Amino acid sequence: MTNFGELYRQYAPDVFRFALYLSGERAEAEDITAETFVRAWTAAEQVRMSTVKGYLFTIARNLFLQGRRKKSRETALEDVHPEPRHGPEAHADSESELRAVLAALRQLPEVDRAALLMRAEDEMPYEDIALALGISLSSVKVKIHRARLKLAHIREG
């Protein structure tokens, strides 16, 4: 895409959703999304059109992993609670369901979670997922299948 604004409008919601499902935190997902597009903008190489979504997801995943490594060296001082934007009754059901899904997703290994999200939420082709994660096509298919089974088991139990 020649216009960066068009690239951002088209892919920012997908990158944000992917980052949110990886991290489970809205603020962190917003930071990852912003940094992803900054890095894409300042990249020295041209992005091929057929792989732009996978390219952006790879950047987002790497930022998430860097943040996770950084957080592992820190200690939490207090719990952070999101600020309600509307009355608590208005979103109680959807918020609790979202928390349950995010908690279940966090129980999956990171690479399985990333593969599952790329396929289920963003309908990425298996080949693009393999490129983004740096694993073989058959490994992607196995990881997605096993992640779906694990997630279903976690949600049932």
Q: How far, CA to CA in Å, does 71 sit from each of 36, 47, 64, 100?
A: 19, 30, 10, 22
- pTM assigned to the model: 0.59
In the chain, where are the structural domains located? 4-73+92-156
Give 81-115 pLDDT, tens digit per residue: 555 555 565 556 677 777 777 888 888 888 998 99
- The DSSP result for 86-139, as a single string, is S-HHHHHHHHHHHHHHHHHHHTS-HHHHHHHHHHHTT---HHHHHHHHTS-HHH
> Mean of the pLDDT values across residues 26-41?
92
On the question of pLDDT at 69 being above 80, the answer is yes
SS3 48: coil
Looking at every residue in the chain, the average pLDDT score rounds to 83
Superfamily of domain 4-73+92-156: PhyR, sigma-like (SL) domain (1.20.140.160)
